[in-house]
Structure 1
Amino acid sequence: MNHESEAVAESESISGEEWLRDAPDSLKSTRRGLKLVIYGGVLVFLAAVGVLYFLFGTEMQTLFMNVLPVMAFSGNLIIFAGTIFCLSIPEQAGARRLLIGAAVGFFAKVIFSGTIFFNTEVLNLPVALFLKVAGYIGFILFALALRKLLLYLNRPDQMWKVHCLLGSVVLFLMGSWCLELVTDLGLVGLRLITIYSVMLVGFFLYPCFTFSLKKVLR
């Protein structure tokens, strides 16, 4: 029984290596998808940095107020599109369902950021909170899908980067929760510390480690 399971694992490993070696269209599509996720993540990070300036800066606030929603919406939309491209990962990797779940979560984040971009107030608080949480769950599922891909490619040495991706999502959640808390308590002076030291770090790390994992597909 053990020999059979080892044979199956070995065949999956060879399949992953052959996939990299043959460089089919599905591999090119996956690379393109990861690039889009990285670019979208960078846009979301820059939008988060811009929020700091908007809250505490005194110049060009009107410009930032118009630009930041565009950057956040575009970034989330690009991340969603990148996830769709990543669905071309071979079925043997076992990442398809995770990617579909991630795409659903990212689409929810697109809807949330779209309401801000189009300056609409159609979402009540519970729905807005649900969409935000769904977006964060999307990041978790995407990281788990990359874990499946690494196992398929027989690259367990890169698994620590997936753990870092999951850790960055924890920073998203902690920062978001703390921001809501200090806002409710009226502790405006703590916003800078909360966003910059917690949430912003997570926004920065996610595209960085995704870029590092993308190198495995070269």
Structure 2
Amino acid sequence: MNNESEVASNSDRTSGEQWLQGTSTSLKRTRQGFTLFLYGCILVCLAALGVLYFEFSTELMSVVMQVLPVTALMGNLIIFAGALLLFSVPTEVNSRGLLIGAAVGFFAKVIFAGTVFWGPGFLGLPLALCLKLAAYIGLILFALFLRNLLLYLNRSDQLVKVYGLLVTSVLFLLGSWCMELMMDLGLIKITLIHIYSVMLVGLFLYPCLFYSLKKVLAP
């Protein structure tokens, strides 16, 4: 009798809900990808917080100058690796194109983060803006992937958090472009600190929202 009720219960679930309750390799890799992505976001947030503190509050020590860019680069590499693991989601999610676009954008951010070691003007303004545009478009595509995944899992109640990620990504893009333009024009730091502070709020909110979404995949 219990077996019959269990079978009936399983038949009432969508394919996404059944996948979430299973123990497949696909689900394990997806959870690993979410975990890596979250850790990468936290590292990037810490690096940005460090830059804000040392750049605008104190003399930037030579050791910190080396540590913070490495932290940001590692964070972006971990985000990219996490995105690659998410290709293991079921094909029914209909998200491969979104994930490819997101991965390309995250790789562009890795390139941008890596060139920081050669100075802010190494890339030139047009290329720097293009790489940042690709990176934030990657975040937007990633949020759309999360939307598809939530719909597949029958968790439309969590979609408002995805919209929060979308709004945050757009604000990142606008703030980042404004910062690049102001740095290229040589405007004073007091203007930059306002933009950077607003972006830092977004950098804090993004992993918080993502962590909340990650709990949907919790065992």
Q: TM-score range by the shorter chain?
A: 0.7 to 0.9
Measured on the aligned residues, the alpha-carbon RMSD in Å equals 1.9
Please give the per-residue CA displacement for 1:139-177, whole angstroms capped at 9, x wherever unaligned.
111110000000000111000000010111122123213
Is 1:18 aligned with 2:18?
Answer: yes
Q: Which residue of 2 aligns with 1:169?
A: 169
Unaligned 5+ residue runs, structure 1? 1-10
Distance 1:17 1:53 in 2: 44
The alignment partner of 2:58 has SS state of: coil
State the 1:125 CA deviation: 2.5
Q: Which residue of 2 aligns with 1:188?
A: 189
State the 1:189 CA deviation: 1.2
Distance 1:39 1:144 in 2: 20
TM-score, L = length of structure 2: 0.87
- What letter is aligned with 1:195? Y
Q: Find runs of 4+ consecutive structure 1 residues off by over 6 angstroms.
A: none
Q: Which residue of 2 aligns with 1:83?
A: 83
- Identity, in percent, stands at 58
Q: Bigger shift: 112-121 or 184-193?
A: 112-121
Alignment of 1:83-162 (within 5 A): 83-117=83-117, 123-162=123-162
The alignment partner of 1:26 has SS state of: helix
Aligned positions, number: 206
Unaligned 5+ residue runs, structure 2? 1-10
Please give the per-residue CA displacement for 1:171-208, whole angstroms capped at 9, x wherever unaligned.
21232133234432623212222111x21111111111
Q: Which residue of 2 aligns with 1:7?
A: none
Distance 2:27 2:75 in 1: 23
Is 1:35 aligned with 2:35?
Answer: yes
State the 1:23 CA deviation: 2.5
State the 1:120 CA deviation: 9.4
Distance 1:23 1:65 in 2: 44
The alignment partner of 1:186 has SS state of: coil
Question: Does the C-alpha gap of structure 1 residues 77 and 118 become closer, same or farther in structure 2, counting only changes over 3 Å?
Answer: farther
The alignment partner of 1:123 has SS state of: coil
